[in-house]
Structure 1
Amino acid sequence: MTGDGGARTALRIRAFAAGAAASTVLAGLAVRAFMDGDLAKYAGDALYTVLICALVAVIAPGARPAVTAGTGLVFSWAVELLQLTGVPAELSRHSTVARLVLGSTFNAPDLLWYAVGAGFAWAVTALAASASDRSKAR
């Protein structure tokens, strides 16, 4: 992105992504407050990846939707696979933040739900990018 128009576009994307991140956190809190069992757990997994994708968009507002979603998915999978080492479990015993970010126990189905979250994030960002492109064409 170049020039003032590019800076304004980046700022708009960052603002939208930051709002999406905040909304995702609120959705995650609502899931934990009003749901339980597997539905809540897997919705939380998907929302975790949506949050990561939104944060990627804040950091790299010019990234294509597939790159944003792919980065969020790879990060989520890496964190889940890291749980096989026991390091996150140890860190989680000492820190609530570590428990929220890294989890503690590997669960293979989580990998699928992270992909669901990344797919949702991709769809939303692709639709937003398409709408933005259409409005620029007018």
Structure 2
Amino acid sequence: ILLALFAWLMRRSVLGIAMRAAATHFTMARMLGVPANLIISSAFALSGLLAGLVALLWLGRIGTVAPGIGLEPLLIAFIATVLGGMRSLQGAVLGGFLLAFIDTGLNYTLPQDLLKFRDAFTFSLVILILLWRPEGLLKGPASGQRT
């Protein structure tokens, strides 16, 4: 639900369109009357709010706090984004689902003695996919191109 709301916000709302304009060409957005400094500050505030919400959900799931608590989900999110396509929100979501599907599938199909190498098998499949499609599974718009 949160992802659908965010996608709608970025595509259809005035704030989302202004964010994309300021991110694409900051100077041009300011010349056209978009308060780009305020928009960029709003983007930082929104990302901080979302990060805090996700941190609360993650902490509720695992129950403890440690110094490297966010490293594993950050690495998985980065790999999913690269796998799905760097310029596409839908690609990042597809990459996340595909990565989870591969990981779960290997969990159930690998013999018990090979389960310790599950991550190596997962990342080998990711590398093969990226060799096949280096730009990711879904291409987003080229830099500077309108969406």
Query: TM-score if structure 1 supplies the norm length?
Result: 0.31
Bigger share in helix: 1
Question: Which has the larger Rg?
Answer: 2
Structure number with greater CO (CA < 8 Å, separation at least 6) is: 1
Query: TM-score if structure 2 supplies the norm length?
Result: 0.30
